Structure 1
Amino acid sequence: MPGRTVAKLATVSAVIAASVLAVAPTAHADLVTHCIGTGGAVTVPNDLLVPAGESCALTGTTITGNVTVAAGGNLVVTGGRVSGEVRVAADGYLDATETTVDGQVVLAAGGYGIFLKDARTGTVTVRPKGSTTIDSFLFAEASTVAGHVNVGAGEVRLDRGTQVQRNLSSTGTYYTDLHDSFVDGTLSVLNSATGSVVCGSAVQGRATFAGNLGGVQLGPNGTLDSCASGGYWGGDVSITSTTGGVTVDDNIINGQLAVTSNDPAAQVAANNRIRGGVTGDQAASSTNRAARVAAPDREDAGDQRAEVRRTSAVQEAAAAGAAKL
């Protein structure tokens, strides 16, 4: 199985000219701030636009309207606030650290990715890839999504105490993993190319895993990723039509576990506490303690992709700034 790639992104520095204001073409339209460069602890009293192919780095900035990141643009916000929504176009990138977005965050088909760290947002949506060539990602650390997470493409990893206050729905991603995270609604992972790992996390509602090609690992001792502990499941858990292996280890399931039509049959360890019992086909109970050591570390495996984007953005920003001096 190919190693998992998790985009672990740092702040993109931009050394270019200050933001400028431009008036929208219609007579009654609000002003729109075009951000090309850096901004500090000021209030933008309208919408903000990062033009196509440009980079914008904001620190302590408040934006009272909506934000649009045009195709190929990069927006990095640290310690800021957006009163509206954030929409990111194809090949666009959003990095929000210690930042609040009151509205939704939407990554368009072919968007490069979203990185949230110590952030709070409304519903987060990653559109299906469609005919685009870019595989998106959503990576969140210690963040809160005060709504749903709906993902239709790319790499998904929620980590380090991230909370989803409603449902998490994933269809057709490369993988969808939860580490030390909390979903206060239902969890659905369907048709993932390399499967799903849930480690040290809690899901309050029903959980459904179906049609995943690379396997499903709930808890430690699986082959997909290193994992220290299992999780808590507040409702029924269903794992069906999965290839690549299913392991369920060290979990508390306050409902029924259904494991059907998986190839190979699911391995359900004896140390699980399953209130509603197990239905379906399962392999003989076994515990592969060596798997924890042998499993690849997905968090560290894919920094290369992020580094390419980060380096490129910094170089382009520096070049643009030098041209304006």
Structure 2
Amino acid sequence: MPRRTAAKLATVTAVVASSVLALAPSAHADLVTYCIGTGGAVTVPNDLYVPAGESCALTGTTITGNVSVAAGGNLVVAGGNVSGDVRVAADGYLDATDTTIGGSVVLAAGGYGTFLKDARTGTVVVRPKGSATIDSFLFVEASTIAGHVTTGAGEVRLDRNTQVEGNLSSTGTYYTDVHDSFVDGTLSVLNSATGSVVCGSAIRGRATFAGNLGGVQLGPNGNLDGCASGSYWGRDVSITNTTGGVTVDDNIIDGTLTVTSNNPAAQVAANNRIRGGVTGEQAGANAARATQAAAGGDRDEAGDQRAAVRRTSAVQEATASGDAGL
């Protein structure tokens, strides 16, 4: 298995036996549309609800209210528009492609995961899993998040020209990686079980990495994942109390780089451009370049695989249910 593989690859095996849609009269704003099955390019004039353990696949659908995905439910949206929030319960899954979500996306404790591609959303929140047995994921590709990203569990990867207009804050995740993306605010990665990789990205605010057990890799030639280039950092960068190794390679830092209390000591390559200099303990100047080819983008492969498994299962279940009548 790749080093940066997903913690779990779950599959959905339940079969939806029937298709049910309850479309409430538009005059009653407190009523809710239930979705099981598939729906097309129509407007839902109120909130949408995916019942527990069911799947809903929508294409070109407009939802004027909020969306709730109950425990174990799946919602796959392509080319859609949601005016309000999307809230996903434990073991629930949201897959949104080429879709605009006007409000927040919130994945509850123990939520299965969220996959966003070519999407636009407000604030994104992944709750800490607490006592739940499921560890969540958040995979974002080529999307814009018009707010903050706050994650407290699971696997987190931002990739392929994703833009975060606020801060990205991560605490207690399995890993938090940022590839080829832009964060307009601050970046904070704390207490990650297998660390953090940032490559080919731009971080405008201050960056803080602390207490990460699996290491921190900024730029190529580290031992966590493969990538082609370093990043631009608009303020100070601090990497402290990290185990598993720290590599800083091919970065531009318009501030000070602080590397203290890391075990082993950080490897800061000579090809970095650090305006404010480096403070703290450093190992040799050469990063572990031999590991670049072996890493080979393992996390990217794992992320695509995990999201694809749930998405394919959800669409198959919704299709088996027939037309939801949207």
TM-score, normalisation: structure 2: 0.91
- Partners of 1:87 and 1:222 lie apart in 2 by 37
Extract structure 1 runs of 4+ deviating beyond 2 A. 5-9, 14-23, 301-322
Cα displacement (A) at 1:4: 1.8
Contact 1:176 1:192 in 2 (8 A): yes
Contact 2:59 2:78 in 1 (8 A): yes
5 Å matches for 1:1-325?
A: 3-5=3-5, 17=19, 19-21=21-23, 30-296=30-296, 297-301=298-302, 305-306=306-307, 308-310=309-311, 312-314=313-315, 316-317=317-318, 320-321=321-322
- Partners of 1:315 and 1:235 lie apart in 2 by 47
**Closer, same or farther: CA 140–304 of 1 in aligned 2, 3 Å:** closer
Helix, strand or coil for the counterpart of 1:5? coil
- Partners of 1:5 and 1:288 lie apart in 2 by 21
Cα displacement (A) at 1:164: 0.3
Over residues 3-36 of structure 1, what are the superposed CA-to-partner deviations in whole Å (9 max), with x where a residue is unaligned? 2235999xxxx9963632358xxxx761100011
Helix, strand or coil for the counterpart of 1:30? coil
Identity score, percent: 81
Query: More deviation in 115-124 or 289-298?
Result: 289-298
Q: Which runs of 5+ in 1 are unaligned?
A: none
Over residues 126-156 of structure 1, what are the superposed CA-to-partner deviations in whole Å (9 max), with x where a residue is unaligned? 0001000001000000000000000000000
- Partners of 1:198 and 1:87 lie apart in 2 by 28
- Partners of 2:60 and 2:308 lie apart in 1 by 25
Cα displacement (A) at 1:318: 5.3
Over residues 274-313 of structure 1, what are the superposed CA-to-partner deviations in whole Å (9 max), with x where a residue is unaligned? 0000000000211433211122521113555445534543
Computed over aligned residues only, the root mean square deviation of the Cα atoms, in angstroms, reads 2.5
Over residues 66-125 of structure 1, what are the superposed CA-to-partner deviations in whole Å (9 max), with x where a residue is unaligned? 000000000011111111000000000000000000100000000000000000000000
Over residues 186-234 of structure 1, what are the superposed CA-to-partner deviations in whole Å (9 max), with x where a residue is unaligned? 0000000000000000000000000000000000000000010000000
Contact 1:202 1:231 in 2 (8 A): yes
- Partners of 2:226 and 2:17 lie apart in 1 by 39
- Partners of 2:175 and 2:288 lie apart in 1 by 23
Helix, strand or coil for the counterpart of 1:313? helix
**Closer, same or farther: CA 133–5 of 1 in aligned 2, 3 Å:** same
**Closer, same or farther: CA 96–131 of 1 in aligned 2, 3 Å:** same
The alignment covers a number of residue pairs equal to 316
Contact 1:19 1:38 in 2 (8 A): no
Contact 2:20 2:34 in 1 (8 A): no
- Partners of 1:8 and 1:300 lie apart in 2 by 12
**Closer, same or farther: CA 302–116 of 1 in aligned 2, 3 Å:** closer
Cα displacement (A) at 1:166: 0.5
**Which AA in structure 2 matches 1:38?**
T
**Which AA in structure 1 matches 2:23?**
L
- Partners of 2:29 and 2:196 lie apart in 1 by 45
- Partners of 2:9 and 2:252 lie apart in 1 by 30
**Which AA in structure 1 matches 2:72?**
G
Contact 1:16 1:38 in 2 (8 A): no
- Partners of 2:146 and 2:43 lie apart in 1 by 24
Higher relative contact order (CA 8 A, sep 6+): 2
**Closer, same or farther: CA 311–100 of 1 in aligned 2, 3 Å:** closer
- Partners of 1:308 and 1:18 lie apart in 2 by 25
**Which AA in structure 1 matches 2:259?**
V
Query: More deviation in 33-42 or 296-305?
Result: 296-305
Helix, strand or coil for the counterpart of 2:4? coil
**Closer, same or farther: CA 110–230 of 1 in aligned 2, 3 Å:** same
